[in-house]
Structure formats: structure tokens, C-alpha cells
Structure 1
Amino acid sequence: MTFDEKVWYQDSHEWVRTEGETATIGISDYAQDELGDVVFVEFPEVGSTLKKGQPLGVVESVKAASDLYMPVSGKVLSCNEALKDTPETINKDPFGEGWIITVKLDDPAEVENLMDSATYKTYTEGL
């Protein structure tokens, strides 16, 4: 199991990586492993504004469909359109090419309420 030390984690297994006021969001290695082979990703609409905790989309796998939730609040800037043709990229590279959306953050400090990699690792060990 990989835990990226450069991202913040939410207890529903989404991660967020920030660069200034822009954030990239995806699902953790733990989440993709639990889901199994990802076969479909549903995205929010580019330009929509979503609040922390709101659904941002769905990841479907051979095992189940799982709702995705915003770890931060912001306006959707882009969706990883490549996942439409190759959703399994989430399984192969959840912290890189398997990213799901980018957003313009409403409040960059909001990430400080999320878990760092050490805390998230301990959290997943208890599941």
C-alpha cells in the first residue's frame, strides 16, 4: 500500500494535492485496492462549485460503485477525461495519472483539517 506524503487525505479516502489556489483530487491507493478493478468514473460538471463533503462523482468497479466526496470546497476547473477511456488508470497510478478533478480552492487553509499521510495510514490500519 502506498501513502503519498505530498497529499492530504479525507476519511472517505479521497486525497487532495495543492499548488497555490489549485487542488488536484483523486482516490487513495487504499481506496482503489478495496474497490478492485475500476471500470467507470462519473465526473462533476466543469465550472460547478462544490462544497466540502458534497458528492463530486462516482467510481464504479467490478465489486461496487462508490460515491466520491469533496475533501475541500472549490470550483471545478477540469476533469481527467482520459479516465473515460482508461478508468483502470486509477488502479495503476492513483496519485499520478489517475487523478480525478482539479478545483480552484475557496479556502486553501481548508486542507489543514484533513489527515497527513502518517495519520491516514494509521486510520486505514484500523479499518
Structure 2
Amino acid sequence: MGGSWSKAGSVEGADESKAKMIARGAAKRLSDAGDKVGKAAKVQMLKAEIMLKEQSMRSMKQELGLSIYIHLEKADSEAYMAVFQETKAKIDAVLAEIEAKRAEIVELSARKPVDGIDEDSITVKMTDGGSVH
């Protein structure tokens, strides 16, 4: 009787161990799925931020045109160059922010390396027409 008890206990222990392994695997898959959803949401948020930054740049350029026109009418080259340089610095800063967001999108969208594929030759095309290598 003692032998069957021990045998039954080890079978139950094996079943319990197998169940724990299955549960851990399922938890890992759920965690991975949650990570993918979180990354996808972050990518969409970054794309929306890029669109807003691009709209901001368009507005800056329109305002620049109006400001420069006033100085051109007066033939004040120093004033319109100052306005241009100031606006260009702002636009360059926004462009840097956009590039940082695009790089983050590429990082979030990166897949695990696959044997035989040269990752340096991959180009990611953005929905806004831009691309990142």
C-alpha cells in the first residue's frame, strides 16, 4: 500500500509540475501579447505626435513668409534674415524631435533578428511618406 501511495504522489507531482509549466508558458505568451499591444499603441501615439509636429512646422513656415514679406517691402535685409534665422532654428529643433520619434518607432517596431537577413539593408517606410534606414 505504501508503494502505490508513493507512485500516485509522484504522478500527481508530475501532473502538477506540467500544469505549472503550461501556466508559465501561457502567462509568458499573454505578457508578450500585452507588450506587442503596448508597443503598437506607443507607435500610433508617436505617429500622431509626428503629424502634429509637421503641422506646427507648416504654420511656422507660413508665419515666416508673412514676416519676411513685411521686411522685404521695406528692403530691410537684416530684419528678414534675423526672422529667417530665428524661424529656421525653431524648425530645425522640430525636425530633430520628429527624427527622434521616427527612430523610436523603428526601435519599437524592430523584430528579433532572423538568420540570413542583413538588418542594415532594411528600410522602414513611414505612413507620412518618410523612410528610415
**TM-score, with normalisation over the residues of structure 1?**
0.22
Q: Which has the higher contact order (CA 8 A, sep 6+)?
A: 1
Larger Rg: 2
**TM-score, with normalisation over the residues of structure 2?**
0.21
